[in-house]
Structure 1
Amino acid sequence: MSALSLRGILENNKLAGANYDDWYRNLRIILMHERLIDIINKPVVTTPVPKEDGSIDNERQHQDMDPPTIVEYLKKMYDAQSKTARYQLSKTLFKSTLDVDSPVGPHVLKMIDLIEQLEKLG
């Protein structure tokens, strides 16, 4: 498989918060294929960042970060969102009850949808 077709995987599956684990796995696969995995595997070197005013935009704020630091930052940011989303979905799933006079079909579809959403989040 060519590197170009592998890169298409990242283009088609962009990072969107809840899919961090899948995105990161795809990124690692592509970097391993291109023999660039050391870029994100090297140890994180912490360097003091000079304090600037709060009006810095995100792009400029992160332009001097090395790849392992960026990956750690993304993991912290999106992993918490993913855990919260999984918790909320689990809570909704476990509290779901079928009313006595309600039809079973819509309830089953709702339960299946919740389970599929949980599956997507891992």
Structure 2
Amino acid sequence: MAANTNTLSLRSVLEKDKLNCLNFLDWFGNLRIVFKQERKLYVIEKSLPDEPSANASRADKDAYKKHLDDMVDVGCLMPATMNPELQKQHEDMVAYYMIEQLKELYQGQERQERKPSRTSCP
């Protein structure tokens, strides 16, 4: 059986510009597009739920395993699209908390981008 060649990968948009302290909004927008297309956007929007109990339904256990697997995929891709300094700062974080910290660091960037600034990045 032939491999499915009808799949569309948008990951190449993440290769254009690695995240640095000046382009968070563009990077985050592209990241959301890629993860939406890959059906993994939920990984950066919701933290990993508690592990289901031993007597939980198969569906609950499968959903948890899928979230865990997708979290690993996303957590590897995100640092690969960052500059080396940001990679080091976030290397031990899972995807959800990585995004939350980056949002906190760069939440005011949109307003700053409208006005030229001579200050260095945090």
Structure 1 or 2: more helix by fraction: 1
TM-score (norm 2): 0.48
TM-score (norm 1): 0.48
